[in-house]
Chains A and B, each alone.
Chain A
Amino acid sequence: MDYLKKENSGKRAVVIDDEEDLTTYFSTILEENGFSVKTANNAEDGEKLVREEPPDLICLDLLMPGRTGINLFLRLRRRDEPLRDIPLIIISGIKEQINVDWKDIVKRSQIRVPNGFIEKPVTPQRLMRVVNDVLNNPSQEVQLG
């Protein structure tokens, strides 16, 4: 996978997850693949990082205490948001309508759906496959069921 390192070299990524272990895990995988990674453990800090230095990729968890990942996602995808085209991958344990029907929220908001979606647990291979798919084809959107 060394080719990926070169390909992604110099690219910036922001990983936002309330679980510190997971930000460490994902950032380690991304750094291993040439990314320069910044991490945040809540939505507020994550948004700050994104706005300070807009990254090439955002990895966002949905369920977080305080402002949730869905809230941040909706903000970053607003029509008047200059950062709305930054590729965004949602990494979540939520698969279906368990606690939050985020897909329904996205549909009703008539905004761009996430570029990628990874359901936990995450293996390095799956993460990087989705990351590369998203980066190689930024117009790709997740097919919402």
Chain B
Amino acid sequence: MKNLTVLSRLQFRGSRPIPLYRKLSVHNKVLLIISLLTLLLGLLGVIAFQFGLKVHFIKEYKDNFQTVTDLLSNRLVPMVLIGDSAEVNRLLSEENQFYESILYMTVTDRNGNTLGQSSDQEEFSLQYPQQALGNTSNDKKNSQDIKSYDKNIMEMVSPIIHDGETIGAINILFSTSSMNTFIRRLMTLYLTVLGILVFIFFLTVRPFLRYITRPIITLTRIADEISLGNLDLDIFYGKHVNCWEIKECGHKDCAAHTNTAVQCWFVDGTPCEGYEPKFPEKLEGCQKCEVYKTHKGDEIVQLADSFQHMIYMLKTSRAELGKSYKFQRNMIQNSLIGVIATNEIGVIKIFNLVAENLTGYSESETIDKLTLNDFFPEEVAVKIKRPLIYDYGLVLRGFRPMESEITSKNKEQIPVRLSGINLYEGEEHLGNVFFFQDFREVKRLRQELIHSERLSATGQAVASISHSIKNILDGLLGGVYVYKKGSKIKSEMDAQKGWNMIEKNIDLISELVIDLLNFSKERKPILQKCDPKSIVEDVIKTMENKARNNNVVMTSEYEGNTDNVYLDSHGLYQCLMNLVSNAIDASPSGRTGHIILRLESRNGKGIIFEVSDDGIGINKEIQNELFRGMVSTKGSKGTGLGLLVVNKIISEHGGIIEVNSEENKGTCFRIWLPKSSNNNSDSRISGTL
């Protein structure tokens, strides 16, 4: 396609020859046309004049020779009647000699037979071989006729009449060379005068035409200047009229007052009465105004006025555009939000100060040189094309603020809060614009907040669990005391009782320590491919003994394909252990309690763990506080730490935990975990346990 374009360009390379006429300026064209017309008319005049002269002279000849033939015919009548050829010849010869211009004369009888001639026919034929002699037809004998054989020879036939009867005819061939010579000379003079006149006309009219076309040339140059962006031009055609001086209206606040840049009828919003406020609507009214009439000039002046108005409007528009551009550029450049805009193919076109400061690039290093991909992750180029707002059809493409990263000059990935909009003008894709904020501080503060919240929660936990620890300590002290007593009084039962107390409280303090560690530690879940079913089974196995001791029956249910799930198995085990332990502790006294562990896979979208019991339940007030602080329904046995640990682990998985409970009926904890891909897990296996 590219080659074809080049080829097609090559075909049109070079310029076709421009006709000379088109190269000429207007005044030269006018001159040329006038000159040609003058010449043409002159030539036509020559032809007409020549023709008129010829007609005039021929008439003269005819009249003259008519007189001659009239005289001759009177003298020839007797000769023709008797057929005296010799006399006729003699008479014709005499007459011929007398009239120089007569070349040859013949006389014919009524039958057309030649009776006589002025000279020997052969001699004449040698002198004028082309001429047809004595071929006068009978039909011409009855009337006078004149006929041209050559530019210099003419023939005239005149009848010889006797008693009203044509008895013969006189043919006269005469030379017109003297007439032709005269006409030629006259024409030469005429053409000379005509040439001189044309030349004088050319000399005198050319400057005049140049004067007429000068405004066009000037306006052309002005148009060229305008096209080059120069608007500081003054056009002086016609006299600028000052409306405030003519009308003396006294409106000093009028935009036309003292405005010499443009005439008042081009100025919008003049307070003149009865006029439309804006040009060109107001022009109709202005044309009746004395100011307009004072100024009104010819078409050139009007054209110049229009040019002046155009320049004024362009200046105004440019000033407004410049102001608008400066405002927008200032707004974008000094925006506290980073702005990067690209054209439709992703090349950087706008790069503001925040973007400069954040990335380390200068504006000149990026504009037209770098692309979208040099700054943002690949996903951004995809997300920017997604529909964002629908309102009876697609209105906007782009994406809402999200956490992303921007690549700096030294290839550092800086966290940003990024949003993007796809710019369209109708169907035309103009480009993309991205808005971003440095998220490092926010992230740091967020980390600090999380840390401080955790510290605060840990502090609260420490205070709260100190109570629990005191109980455990008392349990241990009690165990030791009872064991000692048993040993002292040799009571194996008491000693065993004391020992069991010690073991139980060691277990309790171990659990507490594990929960504390889990809660206070900064860690990311280590996602590994595992079978959640096995986690559930491990929990049931571990808690079996405690459940049995508390008269609780545990069962499990599985739904859907739960293979190939990426989880932090240790974290999930801890969560389920805590929930099951709570469920056992909440088991009703006096009857068998039931706990159901349910595992469900949602077609690859995630998995659900449920721990439900039919125990004492949790009242609404406590339910609302369950995951916020150290809340327990177990009195001194509980710290509330377990649920905080559960919540923390689930949050780290990006999951959700919810509780549904009714007092004295039971509680159900439901954990939803999203599906995590292997790639995701790889990127997240960076924490420590």
Residues on A facing B (Cβ under 8 Å) = 17-19, 21-22, 24-26, 28-29, 32, 61, 63-66, 68, 92-94, 98-99, 119-124
> What residue in chain B is nearest A18 (Cβ atoms)?
B635
**What sequence of 0s and 1s flags, for each residue 626-649 of chain B, a beta carbon within 8 Å of any chain A beta carbon?**
000000011111000000000000
Task: Give the distance in Å from the alpha carbon of A99 to the alpha carbon of B497 in the complex.
Answer: 32
Contact call B637/A19, Cβ cutoff below 8 A: yes
Selected from B471, B479, B485, the residue in CB contact (under 8 A) with A120 is B471
Contact call A122/B636, Cβ cutoff below 8 A: no
Question: At the interface, yes or no: B467 with Cβ under 8 Å from chain A?
Answer: yes
Assuming the contacts A93-B466, A93-B471, A94-B467, asked whether A25 and B636 have C-beta atoms less than 8 A apart, the reply is: no
> What residue in chain A is nearest B630 (Cβ atoms)?
A99
Contact call B464/A28, Cβ cutoff below 8 A: no
Contact call A99/B464, Cβ cutoff below 8 A: yes
Query: What number of residue pairs across chains A and B have CB atoms under 8 A from each other?
Result: 81
Contact call B637/A25, Cβ cutoff below 8 A: no
Measured between beta carbons, the chain B residues less than 8 angstroms from A64 are 635-636
Contact call A19/B501, Cβ cutoff below 8 A: no
Question: At the interface, yes or no: B375 with Cβ under 8 Å from chain A?
Answer: no
Selected from B464, B504, B633, the residue in CB contact (under 8 A) with A21 is B504
For B474, B475, B637, which residue has the most chain A Cβ atoms within 10 angstroms?
B474
Task: Give the distance in Å from the alpha carbon of A63 to the alpha carbon of B634 in the complex.
Answer: 9
Selected from B474, B497, B616, B635, the residue in CB contact (under 8 A) with A121 is B474
Interface of B is mostly: helix
Assuming the contacts A29-B481, A98-B463, A122-B477, asked whether A24 and B497 have C-beta atoms less than 8 A apart, the reply is: yes
Contact call B475/A120, Cβ cutoff below 8 A: no
Assuming the contacts A63-B635, A64-B636, A65-B635, asked whether A21 and B467 have C-beta atoms less than 8 A apart, the reply is: no
Assuming the contacts A22-B478, A29-B481, asked whether A63 and B473 have C-beta atoms less than 8 A apart, the reply is: no
Question: At the interface, yes or no: B482 with Cβ under 8 Å from chain A?
Answer: yes
Selected from A61, A66, A124, the residue in CB contact (under 8 A) with B636 is A61
Task: Give the distance in Å from the alpha carbon of A66 to the alpha carbon of B663 in the complex.
Answer: 11
Assuming the contacts A21-B505, A28-B485, asked whether A93 and B477 have C-beta atoms less than 8 A apart, the reply is: no
Task: Give the distance in Å from the alpha carbon of A122 to the alpha carbon of B473 in the complex.
Answer: 9
User: Top 8 closest A-B pairs, CB basis?
Assistant: A25-B478, A93-B467, A120-B470, A21-B475, A93-B470, A121-B473, A65-B635, A64-B635
Measured between beta carbons, the chain A residues less than 8 angstroms from B633 are 65
> What residue in chain B is nearest A65 (Cβ atoms)?
B635
Contact call B478/A63, Cβ cutoff below 8 A: no
Measured between beta carbons, the chain B residues less than 8 angstroms from A29 are 481
Extra 6 A-B pairs, beta carbons < 8 Å, given A21-B478, A24-B482: A17-B636, A25-B501, A68-B635, A92-B467, A98-B467, A120-B470
Assuming the contacts A19-B471, A32-B485, A120-B470, asked whether A24 and B636 have C-beta atoms less than 8 A apart, the reply is: no
Question: At the interface, yes or no: B468 with Cβ under 8 Å from chain A?
Answer: yes
Assuming the contacts A28-B482, A93-B468, asked whether A120 and B473 have C-beta atoms less than 8 A apart, the reply is: yes
Identify 27 residue pairs between A and B in the complex whose beta-carbon atoms are under 8 Å apart, listed by A's number: A18-B634, A19-B475, A21-B474, A21-B479, A21-B501, A22-B474, A22-B475, A24-B478, A25-B474, A25-B477, A26-B478, A61-B635, A63-B467, A63-B636, A64-B636, A65-B634, A66-B635, A68-B635, A93-B636, A98-B464, A98-B467, A120-B467, A120-B470, A120-B471, A120-B474, A122-B474, A124-B481
**What sequence of 0s and 1s flags, for each residue 476-516 of chain B, a beta carbon within 8 Å of any chain A beta carbon?**
01110110010000000000010001001100000000000
Task: Give the distance in Å from the alpha carbon of A67 to the alpha carbon of B475 in the complex.
Answer: 22
Measured between beta carbons, the chain B residues less than 8 angstroms from A28 are 478, 481-482, 485
B369 to chain A, nearest CB (A): 64
Measured between beta carbons, the chain A residues less than 8 angstroms from B635 are 18, 61, 63-66, 68
A58 to chain B, nearest CB (A): 17
Task: Give the distance in Å from the alpha carbon of A63 to the alpha carbon of B466 in the complex.
Answer: 13
Selected from A32, A65, A99, A119, the residue in CB contact (under 8 A) with B637 is A65
Which parts of B258-283 form the interface with A (CB within 8 Å)?
none
Task: Give the distance in Å from the alpha carbon of A123 to the alpha carbon of B646 in the complex.
Answer: 35
A80 to chain B, nearest CB (A): 28
Selected from A19, A65, A66, A123, the residue in CB contact (under 8 A) with B477 is A123
Measured between beta carbons, the chain A residues less than 8 angstroms from B471 are 19, 22, 93, 120
Assuming the contacts A18-B637, A121-B473, asked whether A24 and B467 have C-beta atoms less than 8 A apart, the reply is: no
Task: Give the distance in Å from the alpha carbon of A122 to the alpha carbon of B477 in the complex.
Answer: 8
Contact call B501/A24, Cβ cutoff below 8 A: yes
> What residue in chain B is nearest A28 (Cβ atoms)?
B482
Task: Give the distance in Å from the alpha carbon of A65 to the alpha carbon of B471 in the complex.
Answer: 14
Measured between beta carbons, the chain A residues less than 8 angstroms from B466 are 93
Measured between beta carbons, the chain B residues less than 8 angstroms from A22 are 471, 474-475, 478
A110 to chain B, nearest CB (A): 27
> What residue in chain B is nearest A21 (Cβ atoms)?
B475
Task: Give the distance in Å from the alpha carbon of A123 to the alpha carbon of B473 in the complex.
Answer: 10
Task: Give the distance in Å from the alpha carbon of A65 to the alpha carbon of B470 in the complex.
Answer: 17
B472 to chain A, nearest CB (A): 9
Contact call B470/A121, Cβ cutoff below 8 A: yes
Task: Give the distance in Å from the alpha carbon of A51 to the alpha carbon of B331 in the complex.
Answer: 81
A136 to chain B, nearest CB (A): 24
Task: Give the distance in Å from the alpha carbon of A123 to the alpha carbon of B470 in the complex.
Answer: 12
B345 to chain A, nearest CB (A): 65
Measured between beta carbons, the chain B residues less than 8 angstroms from A68 are 635
B483 to chain A, nearest CB (A): 10
B314 to chain A, nearest CB (A): 79
Task: Give the distance in Å from the alpha carbon of A65 to the alpha carbon of B663 in the complex.
Answer: 13
Task: Give the distance in Å from the alpha carbon of A63 to the alpha carbon of B497 in the complex.
Answer: 25
Task: Give the distance in Å from the alpha carbon of A78 to the alpha carbon of B477 in the complex.
Answer: 34
A22 to chain B, nearest CB (A): 5
Task: Give the distance in Å from the alpha carbon of A93 to the alpha carbon of B472 in the complex.
Answer: 11
Task: Give the distance in Å from the alpha carbon of A28 to the alpha carbon of B494 in the complex.
Answer: 10
Measured between beta carbons, the chain B residues less than 8 angstroms from A32 are 485
Task: Give the distance in Å from the alpha carbon of A93 to the alpha carbon of B468 in the complex.
Answer: 8
Task: Give the distance in Å from the alpha carbon of A119 to the alpha carbon of B616 in the complex.
Answer: 29
B485 to chain A, nearest CB (A): 6
Task: Give the distance in Å from the alpha carbon of A98 to the alpha carbon of B468 in the complex.
Answer: 13
